[in-house]
Amino acid sequence: MEYPAEIVLQYIANLIWPFTRISSMMMAMTFFGAQFVSPRIRLYLAMGVTLAMSGTIPEMPQSIALFSLQGFVVTGQQVLIGIAMGAITQFITQIFVLLGQIIGMQSSLGFASMVDPSNGQNTPVLGQLFMFLALMLFLATNGHLEMLQIVALSFHTLPVGEGMLDAADYHQISQWFGHMFRAGLSMAVAGIIALLTVNLAFGVMTRAAPQLNIFALGFSFALLLGLMISWYIVLGLVPKYEGVWQLGVDQICGLARINC
């Protein structure tokens, strides 16, 4: 039995283009896109997800040849769509990393640092604590399954070869840098005010009693207060995460042209 080259190329295109979008999203998505997850494992997962979704994904355009200039352009579009969807989840995780870094710098807990396994950079331990808590909440609330559902629906709202991101979408993604700093600072502002009040109190004590070793006393007290503030933030972390995650899901649905 012989198969024409057009049928073989169309069959390959029905798998390659969905695989490109799904694998790009998983490469950029939080947890799956971290350095402690092997790229080979990500590709295997993306391949399995693509095969599982192949029955629900619409047919790829037959008028576009896979190995052509237009085919390469379509492949690049799928990469950009997948990276844009996965990058939003990375911004959500970095909000909590930024929260831990702000509290750590203000309370002197930032002296304790180690290599972050997700990106290989040296970051404060407090920031890594909030990052791992955010990752556990991401998995516990089925955020990864929600992302797979969105990317499956995106093939209907952003068909391969027809739908693509426009300039307004890239502008909204760039605004997430501002959302990230604003959300991290808003969650840390209570701790910043508390630590500022303590520093002002120790400044008054230094002027009133210069004989006190205010540096040794203030440093240890700031560390203790920083631990108490961190515990207070952890107690209210779930509703904060849900609010930020819902904002991120709305943004991802907007990129995919889905009504969430």
pLDDT of 90-108, one tens digit each?
Answer: 999 989 988 888 888 877 7
Query: Tokens for 8?
Result: 């073989």
Does 141 fall in a domain?
A: yes
Does 19 have pLDDT greater than 60? Answer: yes
Look up the domain containing 221 and give its range: 5-255
- To 10 degrees, the CA torsion angle through 55, 61, 62, 66? -100
Does 156 fall in a domain?
A: yes
Does 21 fall in a domain?
A: yes
Total domains in the chain come to: 1
Does 260 fall in a domain?
A: no
> What is the pLDDT averaged over residues 215-235?
79
Residues of the chain with pLDDT > 90: what percent? 28
Digit-coded pLDDT (tens) for 36-63: 788 888 889 999 999 888 888 888 887 7
Does 95 fall in a domain?
A: yes
Does 70 fall in a domain?
A: yes
Digit-coded pLDDT (tens) for 61-84: 877 777 788 888 899 999 999 999
Does 210 fall in a domain?
A: yes
**In which band, very low, low, confident or very high, does the pLDDT at 211 lie, cut at 50, 70 and 90?**
low
How far apart, in whole angstroms, are the C-alpha atoms of residue 228 and residue 194? 11
How far apart, in whole angstroms, are the C-alpha atoms of residue 248 and residue 4? 45
Does 191 fall in a domain?
A: yes
